[in-house]
């Protein structure tokens, strides 16, 4: 009976081994599935963050451009006023020279 007992224990151990192997395969499959799922989530998050960074960069560039345009407009207007002032001065000088020539 000792041999029958050993054979029974071996069969029981085989069944337990099969169960353990089956559970391990299921856990491994679950872990792999979770890893793929998380990978997709990370990729989506990365794309979303990239899109947001690009949008933020574009908004910042637009804001900076508006500030630069405003600054350049002010500089242009200031330069234009200076040019107009110089032109008036030159015009006055030219008129004075013409009057002086006519009177002389």
What are the tens digits of pLDDT across the range 21-68?
999 999 999 999 999 999 999 999 999 999 999 999 999 999 999 999
This prediction has a pTM of: 0.52
Give the integer Cα–Cα distance in Å for 44 and 52: 12
Quote the percentage of the chain above a pLDDT of 70.
99
Mean pLDDT in the chain? 91
Q: Which pLDDT value is given to residue 94?
A: 87
- Tokens 């353990």 label which residue? 20
Number of DSSP helices (H) and strands (E) in the chain, helices first? 1, 0
Quote the percentage of the chain above a pLDDT of 90.
76
């Amino acid at each position: 009976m000792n041999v029958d007992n050993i054979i029974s224990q071996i069969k029981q151990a085989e069944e337990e081994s099969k169960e353990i192997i089956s559970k391990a395969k299921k856990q491994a499959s679950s872990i792999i599935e979770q890893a793929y799922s998380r990978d997709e989530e990370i990729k989506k998050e990365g794309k979303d963050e990239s899109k947001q960074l690009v949008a933020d960069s574009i908004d910042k560039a637009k804001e900076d451009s508006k500030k630069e345009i405003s600054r350049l407009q002010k500089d242009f207007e200031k330069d234009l006023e200076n040019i107009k002032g110089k032109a008036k001065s030159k015009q006055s000088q030219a008129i004075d020279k013409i009057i002086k020539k006519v009177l002389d």
